[in-house]
Amino acid sequence: MTLLHITSAFDGGNIIVHDAKDPSNIRLAIRPDNNSDFFQWFYYRVTGAKGQPLKMVLENAKDAAFTGGWENYRACASYDRETWFRVETTSYVNGQLIIEHTPEIDSVYYAYFAPYPMDRHADVVAEAALQEGVSLRVLGQTVQGQDLDCLSVGTGEKTIWIIARQHPGETMAEWWMEGFLSRILDTEDDVAMALREKATFHIVPNMCPDGGRNGNLRTNETGANLNREWGVATIQSAPEVYHTIKAMDEAKPDLCLDVHGDESLPYNFIAGAEGIPGYTQKQADNLAAFLSAYETGSPEFQTKHGYPVTAPGKANLTMCTNYTAHAYDCLAMTLEMPFKDNANSPNAEFGWSPDRSADLGAAVLDAMMAVVEEL
């Protein structure tokens, strides 16, 4: 008889096993991010449970970073780590998250969202760097010594920066990047070719590779939340942001898009920089035009649901969007995608997914095209 076994000792893994003797009452906990109290990301493998109904209790779910993230949430599962489907998840009973599933084969993975492995990042970056007109440079090294990859493409006057995964557990952001990259590098796409003539793109597909590899939700190796480090990062605490700002100072953004996932809201939406001191009419007009064009270009994007708009002058300038809008007087935005699903067009089998994230990433070109001349 094969013994049931659970591990997270791999790239992006995160789980603490308290007791896995009884398949109908497996006791687990999510490990906090490095040097941090944040946690929510989980990713683990179960072996030796083929045909057995599993009841997996994540005991510390009530203390997770965003407990609203568990409401109407269903965990992701995969046999082949390519197709991630949703499984029955009882949210927040007595502060616990309970995942119930009967694996059909001997090896099954469970995760908060479809993971985005470092190997895949390396493959995508290498493939992009092979394309004509694309250059790759390393902005610097992370605390663990990983390279911070930046791809550049285009020859135009306008400068567009796109960064993703400042919060490493928001893997949909790098799935989005794959869709964006495949379209901007498509030499048969008229919009892509026009944009490459009008703008120069600088693309950082993964801002926090250490956190991604560690299985963190929100922080880098030192425990820094990168999206609270803009303008204050040191090379020791948050080299990822420190090096990116240095590169931006040399190629100042006319547009900066920072791609994220939101634990709670079941929608795709954008937050702007309305709260910065000196927010201009031009910034407001460009934001409105961008939002309207994104909504037209993708049925998955909407503008009705999102974060409340920050009052004038009250913006937190340590966040990428506010910092870049303020420092470079540009159109800066934060894109948020759901961990759960898009409530406007729910998909019972997959929820919000890598494929849907990639489609949304491809569609952003139409929104950029609508504003590029005005930046």
- Residues within the interface to Zn ion (CB under 5 A): 167, 170, 260
* Of residues 59 and 258, the one with the C-beta less far from Zn ion: 258
Q: Is 131 exposed, middle or buried (0-12, 13-18, 19+ CB in 10 A)?
A: middle
Can you tell me which residue has the tokens 């993975």?
Answer: 109
* Of residues 41 and 370, the one with the C-beta less far from Zn ion: 41
- Residue whose C-alpha is closest to residue 7's, from 59, 33, 50, 46: 46
In 167-280, which residue ranges form alpha helices assigned H by DSSP? 172-184, 190-198, 209-214, 239-250
Q: Where are the beta strands (DSSP E) in 230-283?
A: 255-262, 269-271
* Of residues 170 and 240, the one with the C-beta less far from Zn ion: 170
* Of residues 86 and 167, the one with the C-beta less far from Zn ion: 167
Catalytic-labelled residue, pool 157, 336, 349, 374: 336
Q: Quick one: DSSP state of residue 36?
A: S
CA 296/CA 126 separation, integer angstroms: 32
Angle between helices 281-297 and 354-371 (to 10 degrees): 130
Residue 76 has φ and ψ, to the nearest 5°, of -95, 145
Q: CB of residue 245 vs Zn ion: minimum separation in angstroms?
A: 18
* Of residues 154 and 339, the one with the C-beta less far from Zn ion: 339
Residue 112 has φ and ψ, to the nearest 5°, of -65, -40
Q: CB of residue 170 vs Zn ion: minimum separation in angstroms?
A: 5
* Of residues 103 and 209, the one with the C-beta less far from Zn ion: 209
Q: CB of residue 332 vs Zn ion: minimum separation in angstroms?
A: 15
Q: Cα dist. 18→167, 228, 341 in Å? A: 27, 33, 30
CA 344/CA 346 separation, integer angstroms: 6
Is 170 a catalytic site residue?
Answer: no
CA 49/CA 23 separation, integer angstroms: 8
CA 360/CA 172 separation, integer angstroms: 10
Q: CB of residue 199 vs Zn ion: minimum separation in angstroms?
A: 25
* Of residues 297 and 338, the one with the C-beta less far from Zn ion: 338
The string of DSSP codes covering 118-144 is: HHHHHHHHHHHHTSTTEEEEEEEE-TT
Q: CB of residue 258 vs Zn ion: minimum separation in angstroms?
A: 8
Can you tell me which residue has the tokens 């109290």?
Answer: 37
Can you tell me which residue has the tokens 């250059």?
Answer: 135
Element (H, E) at 361: helix 354-371
- The answer to whether the CB of 49 falls within 8 A of the CB of 23 is yes
Residues carrying an active site annotation: 336
